[in-house]
Amino acid sequence: MTPPAGLRFGNWLYLWLHAHESSAAGHPWRVLEAPGMDEWFDAFPGLRELTVTRAELRFHDRRVWGERHWNQKFGEEFTRPALDAFIADVLAPHVPVDDSDTIVVNVRRGDYYAQDHLRALYAFDQAGYLADALESVGSASRIRLVSDDPEWCRENVANLLERHADEVVYEPRGALGNFLAVCGSRVLIGTNSTFSYWGGYVAGVLHPDARVVMPRFHARREQGTDAYQLDPSWTIIDGHH
């Protein structure tokens, strides 16, 4: 079961991952379709096969509401083999691969910073984090900035990015194009977003030598601030929250 609002593509992917893993094991699962999924079905047709519409939902079908973490705890609620199999089957065949040394930087802003209750949960010192993350990967000839708020990035971190690359390009707005850019990269710096995490997961399948950097911070919750979605093979940056 999915709510009609509140979850987006990065969250849905964890549910589709569970449906793929369970179905492959002989226990057919489907994710209930929610508004906004159509764009992703067109880009990744295999996702539609893991989805059921409300009209297709039968009276006797078992309904399961998402657990507290929405199947997002790496190594507990899903395994690396299951993750890699899902990516190889459903996502990777449709992602253009970038084998250059371009550093892709994905900065999540949007409702995290526009809405007070989400800002209290998710906002952190992105500029300070990016400075440490860029130091960890070193300089490159090109940085590709992917964000839902490129204007904020131009105003607040452009100088930082320009110190680490000869050229900085800003990806146009658009969820699908941004996701493909993040996923196809060999060197990725992400922020505290499931969109970034999935970019890192896919990049790791497409590039055996992928370098992925993420903040340890995800959100301020009762159980702590650390992100439980992180792949242990990534470079994790502490602090800045």
CA 139 to chain centre: 24
pLDDT score for 173:
82
- pLDDT tens string 147-167: 999 999 999 999 999 999 999
Expressed in angstroms, the distance from the first to the final Cα of the chain is 33
Instruction: Give pLDDT < 50 ranges for the chain.
Output: none
Q: Write out pLDDT tens, residues 48-82.
A: 999 999 999 899 888 887 666 789 999 999 999 99
Closest C-alpha among 141, 104, 158 to residue 95: 104
Q: Domain ranges in the chain? A: 9-93, 96-237
Helix/strand/coil for 12 = helix
Give the model's pLDDT for residue 70.
85
**CATH class given for the domain over 96-237:** alpha beta
